[in-house]
Structure 1
């Protein structure tokens, strides 16, 4: 079954924090960790991995930090997810070549379609969600 690991959950949270801050300068590690409740030592590992992919860039020093290397409107959530978790492959989990395998392949295609939105679109959805929260007493 497809599920996100802690690497995926924390990595997505960190990328969304960087995407939300895009164009406003660098974010320091401690600020990302605090905002998204990610253990700092784990965040360092995640960001180092994302640096290698070119998705994130960093600047060292007192005024250094991290930022998304491209506009969130140009970055696919699916791409980020697959960088963190590997390719989504449901059909390979079913060995036979029959209708069930075909069903898994169809599900894989649909999941990828749903996840193939930009980080900007995802942030907009989150803003709409945050604005629609209702409190009941």
Structure 2
């Protein structure tokens, strides 16, 4: 199961990747409203990502965030590890039975399979599939 923290961090990074090379940084409010992410939670996530060196913050009234890395070099697994969401192993306090052991094997395989998919998928892979028409366009 993917946590909200990982989902929101990925959405924020995708948004920054889509706007990479644009002159203005992206405001927290803009990302929050566009993707329905609670702003205080997004600020916490962006601080974590800034600490990893993946985003840069720009202060001031025209401030916001910019992607500081090549999106082709950043995998979803790295994002999951950075926001503390990749450890999905199931730890239960139940008795050690054959059924319990079998379930732990399945859970472990599911976790490994999801880690493999996340490791193979880069931020650029996802951003390339996002339609530029999702942005609001005004024609005169």
TM norm structure 1: 0.73
Measure the CA separation in 1 of the matches of 2:40 and 2:103: 42
Preserved contact between residue 75 and residue 118 of structure 1 (Cα < 8 Å): yes
Q: Which residue of 2 aligns with 1:4?
A: 3
Preserved contact between residue 17 and residue 32 of structure 1 (Cα < 8 Å): yes
Equivalent residue pairs, number: 125
Cα 1:99/1:76, change in 2 over 3 Å: same
What is the CA-CA distance between 1:15 and the residue it aligns to? Answer: 1.5
Preserved contact between residue 50 and residue 57 of structure 2 (Cα < 8 Å): yes
Please list every run of 5 or more consecutive structure 2 residues that lacks an aligned counterpart in the other structure: 135-140
Q: Which residue of 1 aligns with 2:110?
A: 107
Q: Which residue of 2 aligns with 1:57?
A: 56
What is the CA-CA distance between 1:124 and the residue it aligns to? Answer: 2.6
Measure the CA separation in 2 of the matches of 1:31 and 1:23: 17
Preserved contact between residue 53 and residue 68 of structure 2 (Cα < 8 Å): yes
Measure the CA separation in 1 of the matches of 2:20 and 2:53: 15
Q: Which residue of 2 aligns with 1:17?
A: 15
Q: Which residue of 2 aligns with 1:134?
A: none
Q: Which residue of 2 aligns with 1:135?
A: none
Measure the CA separation in 2 of the matches of 1:77 and 1:110: 13
Preserved contact between residue 19 and residue 72 of structure 1 (Cα < 8 Å): yes
Deviations 1:79-136 (A, max 9, x none): 112222433342x526859554333332222111111210111223444xx8xxxxxx
Preserved contact between residue 77 and residue 86 of structure 2 (Cα < 8 Å): no
Structure of higher CA gyration radius: 2
What is the CA-CA distance between 1:28 and the residue it aligns to? Answer: 1.8
Larger RCO: 1 or 2 (CA < 8 Å, sep 6+): 2
Q: Does residue 122 of structure 1 match 2:120?
A: no
Cα 1:33/1:100, change in 2 over 3 Å: closer
